[in-house]
Structure 1
Amino acid sequence: MVSVTLLLLGLLVTSAHSLGCPAGCVCNDDTFVVECEKTKLDVFPIALNPAIQRLVLKNNKIKTVDAALHFYRELQYLDLSNNHLVNIPSESFMFQEKLQELHLNKNKLSSVNNKTFQGLKSLTVLNLRENFLDELPKGLFSILPKLEELNLGNNRISKIDSHAFSGLYSLRVLYLDDNQLNAVPTQSFSLMGNLAELHVGLNVFSDLKNKAFDGLNKLSILDLNGAGLNSISENAFQGLTGLRSLNLADNRLQTIPTRQLSHLVRLEELTIGQNDFVAIEANSLKGLSNLRKLDITGARDLERIEKGAFASNLNMETIILASNRKLETLEEGALAGLPNLRHLILRENAFKSFSESILSWNELKVLELTDNPIHCDCQLLWLSNLLAMKNLTTVQCSLPVQLKERSLRTLGADDLGCSFSDPRQQAILATLCISAVVLIGGLGVLLFRYRQRVGEALKDYKWNKKAISRKEHEYQKTFSDDEYIMRSQQPIKAIPVTEL
């Protein structure tokens, strides 16, 4: 019966050239690519060129994979995503030994077994995302020795056999996110020693046990976004010595798990927003000396970043503090000692002002301060001058009322209510006042110390003055007043010319 069916299909294939490319499809016999997207196909096409290597059938109404697939033995890429596949008969891919990528995502598959993928010896990518799988039985993928990426996200998986991933020695990327796992399947992970990237967020873990990822020594990226975590055991991350990126966002953590994170000595990127902590305290990220990027976005209860929060993270290059609606305090010294900081994102928080001494603003390459309730006054004159020189961000005033929605960049000293147009002038004036006070004080000290000598000098001066006045008075008395008047009235005697 099978041979008869194959014969009939063979006859149909021989007439493929007369049938041509199915309506709505794009067939290229030069590149051996066929694309039939949104063509309302409900069965697998059988009239295509048998030499095709890439076949895209996504967004159609295909309900099963039938024997027609057997004639396309040169296939390297097959996309059946977003169809109506309910099941895949055993050995459907028996003759696809060259197939490298298989996309079955966005279908209605409720189960697969160890015979479903039989024949796929060269497969490196398998996408089963957004189906209805609820269990992964033993040895399910053992016949896929070259598989490098496996996507099982957004299913209903609640049970994983401890040997479900046996044989996946080449697996590098695994997606198990958005399922119904209530615990990390630690025993299953031990069979994937080469795994580099693991996504297990959007599950219902509640906590992480010690050595939760035991055996994943080569793991570089771990995504626990939305995993339902409210506690993490102290040694949960033990053994992840090569981890470089960790996502703990959208959980229920009350504090930064400082001790737990300290095991991740090579961590470079940490995303930990949308949690329930109120503050980033001093040395919260202690031990993460290689951390380069920190993202705290959407932490609804976060109010302050304390002094020394990043004291242990001298290699920090990027800090993202965004959409934290209660965050209004950035303490002096919170960003101190970060010589490599070049990207600072502070948008959509509750900041009203910024201190010039918080960090070296001129060293930043990227600065974003948009959507904060900024109070524009003289304390932000330095920022206005900075924004005028460097096109880093847009800052709109919220207060005072007369400056509402005005751009800080366009405001001068008078607009901001400054008594002097330049802060340097204020500094110079203050310096002069202080100098004058010091000088006057110094003179007072000198006068007090040498008060006896000064008194004697004044006494001598007064005595000499009296003596001079007495002599002048005696000289004036040698002439009587009458004589002085008579002398002044006598005519001046003319001198004869002959005597000249």
Structure 2
Amino acid sequence: MADYAALRFTVLLSIALSWASAEPSCMQIDGHKYRRLVCREFGSPEDFKKHVPRNESSKDTWFLLINSAMDRLPPAAFAGLNVSELILSDVKLGSLDDPEAGEGPFSGLEQSLKKMAFRRDSTLPSSWSQLGKMAALQELHLQRYRNLNLTRDFGKLPQSLKLVFVFDATLNKVDEDWLADLGNLETVIVRVTDLPVFVRSMLPRPAPKLRTLDLAENQLGAFPQGLAEDLPQLQFVNLEDNRITTLEEKDVAPLHKDPVLVRLIGNPMHCDCKLWFLLDYTDRWHYFLCQSPEIHQGRYIKMLSEPELPCEYGTPAAAGPANVPPSAAPAAQPSAATQAASSEAPPSSASP
């Protein structure tokens, strides 16, 4: 038993030492149901031939390429590995587009790739049509980007897409219909960005399968209008930690029905008679502490009464601009929980 423990320690130590080097390398970790390949410091297409283990596996493979820079990925760079999840983190390329002739870097993933993630300003395709043939793709993640464009080109992604996740980004351009052509979306998450406005036209109409709209920790200055329109399966709307100062009953009331849960915690709300309607709303929702007027600062809106919320307080101007988007504005700082959730997972963790 002692010999086995010593051998195991030696193996783990050698892996750790090789991983600490700045040389191109790959590490393979086999789990019960999944295989994980983690490669780093690639500087040329030849590194894929030298370092990526090409043994086939019946297990789904999670492939993570980090801290790499080269002109292009090689043709069919990940083919034959049964890759279901592909993450490019701090991968700088001259281009990620398919060549005019021959195979593109994602060739061979059409039937296996379910999740694609780009992190830390990794090079993006010039058009999302580069992923248009990924028939099994269900999730697209974009994390830690500066000057990200959310345009109607997203409509060229495959119709199999169920989830779009944008996290920790400053936005250069946002089209008012950037997700409108993705009719099978179930979850849209845009968190920790400088997005000042979200409008109904950004989503498909109808969006028959959309259940979750998570817009926490952005710069939204108003409750989005029309969220109950052609969204029959909507269950969760998260507007936590934005810059919303007041609510219009006409915007909120259509969501006041089972099974919809709305989360409004952390907004700098001005509590006056405009919010009377909330006093009769369900206790299932997550409300907020009043920011103003001073007499109510720090008090929970549902603990107040109509006589305590007169109209003469006046409503301050909404915090934040109303145009889309302020490219120069800094992104919101993520909460501690969000920061923890977004960190790069260690190679030995269960999820990438």
Equivalent AA in structure 2 for residue 315 of structure 1:
K
Aligned to 2:24: 135
Rate the CA distance shift 1:390–1:134 in 2: closer, same or farther, 3 A: same
Aligned to 2:156: 262
Shift of 1:396: 0.4
Residues of 1 paired with 2:239 and 2:66: CA distance? Answer: 30
Residues of 1 paired with 2:166 and 2:174: CA distance? Answer: 11
Which of 48, 58, 63 pairs up with 1:161?
Answer: 48
Q: How high is the sequence identity, in percent, across the aligned residues?
A: 17
Aligned to 1:298: 192
Shift of 1:184: 6.0
1:351 to 2:239 alignment: no
Rate the CA distance shift 1:316–1:209 in 2: closer, same or farther, 3 A: same
Q: TM-score, normalised by structure 1?
A: 0.53
Aligned to 1:246: 140
For residues 392-445 of structure 1, give each alpha carbon's deviation from its aligned partner in whole angstroms, at most 9, with x where no partner exists. 2131000111111110011111111169xxxxxxxxxxxxxxxxxxxxxxxxxx
Q: Give 3-state SS (helix, strand or coil) of 2:276's partner.
A: helix
Q: Is the 8 A contact 2:154 2:178 kept in 1?
A: no
Residues of 2 paired with 1:298 and 1:184: CA distance? Answer: 30
Residues of 2 paired with 1:307 and 1:279: CA distance? Answer: 17
Rate the CA distance shift 1:183–1:406 in 2: closer, same or farther, 3 A: farther
For residues 86-114 of structure 1, give each alpha carbon's deviation from its aligned partner in whole angstroms, at most 9, with x where no partner exists. xxxxxxxxxxxxxxxxxx4xx011xxxxx
Q: Give 3-state SS (helix, strand or coil) of 1:232's partner.
A: coil
Equivalent AA in structure 2 for residue 270 of structure 1:
V
Tell me how large the CA RMSD over aligned residues is.
3.2
Rate the CA distance shift 1:393–1:331 in 2: closer, same or farther, 3 A: closer
Shift of 1:207: 5.5
For residues 279-303 of structure 1, give each alpha carbon's deviation from its aligned partner in whole angstroms, at most 9, with x where no partner exists. 754321022111111110111x211
For residues 323-361 of structure 1, give each alpha carbon's deviation from its aligned partner in whole angstroms, at most 9, with x where no partner exists. 11x221344225532111101111111111222322423
Which of 329, 346, 362 pairs up with 2:222?
Answer: 329
Shift of 1:246: 1.0
Which of 31, 35, 59 pairs up with 1:149?
Answer: 35
Aligned to 1:204: 92
Shift of 1:193: 6.2
Equivalent AA in structure 2 for residue 384 of structure 1:
L
Residues of 1 paired with 2:177 and 2:48: CA distance? Answer: 41
Which of 246, 249, 268 pairs up with 1:373?
Answer: 268
Within 5 A, what are the aligned runs for 1:22-171?
Answer: 22=2, 43-44=6-7, 57=8, 62=10, 80=12, 83=13, 85=14, 104=15, 107-109=16-18, 130-132=19-21, 134-135=23-24, 149-153=35-39, 155-159=40-44, 160-162=47-49, 164-168=52-56, 170=58
Shift of 1:372: 0.7
Q: Which has the higher strand share?
A: 2
Rate the CA distance shift 1:260–1:391 in 2: closer, same or farther, 3 A: closer
Rate the CA distance shift 1:307–1:345 in 2: closer, same or farther, 3 A: closer
Which of 104, 109, 114 pairs up with 1:216?
Answer: 109
Shift of 1:271: 0.4
Q: Give 3-state SS (helix, strand or coil) of 1:200's partner.
A: strand
Q: Is the 8 A contact 2:261 2:284 kept in 1?
A: no
Shift of 1:263: 2.6
User: Would you say how many aligned residue pairs link Structure 1 and Structure 2?
Assistant: 298
Structure 1: gaps spanning 5 or more residues: 1-20, 26-33, 37-42, 45-56, 66-79, 86-103, 110-129, 420-500
Residues of 2 paired with 1:180 and 1:195: CA distance? Answer: 19
Which of 70, 80, 86 pairs up with 1:192?
Answer: 80
Shift of 1:268: 0.7
For residues 162-204 of structure 1, give each alpha carbon's deviation from its aligned partner in whole angstroms, at most 9, with x where no partner exists. 4745342546213323322346634253532632121222322
Q: Is the 8 A contact 1:165 1:188 kept in 2?
A: no
Q: TM-score, normalised by structure 2?
A: 0.73
Larger-Rg structure: 1
Q: Give 3-state SS (helix, strand or coil) of 1:362's partner.
A: coil
Rate the CA distance shift 1:289–1:253 in 2: closer, same or farther, 3 A: farther
Shift of 1:265: 0.4
Shift of 1:215: 1.8
Residues of 2 paired with 1:229 and 1:353: CA distance? Answer: 39
Determine which structure has greater relative contact order: mean sequence separation of CA pairs < 8 Å that are 6+ residues apart, divided by chain length.
2
Rate the CA distance shift 1:260–1:134 in 2: closer, same or farther, 3 A: farther
Aligned to 2:293: 400
Equivalent AA in structure 2 for residue 242 of structure 1:
A
Shift of 1:205: 3.9
Q: Give 3-state SS (helix, strand or coil) of 1:383's partner.
A: helix
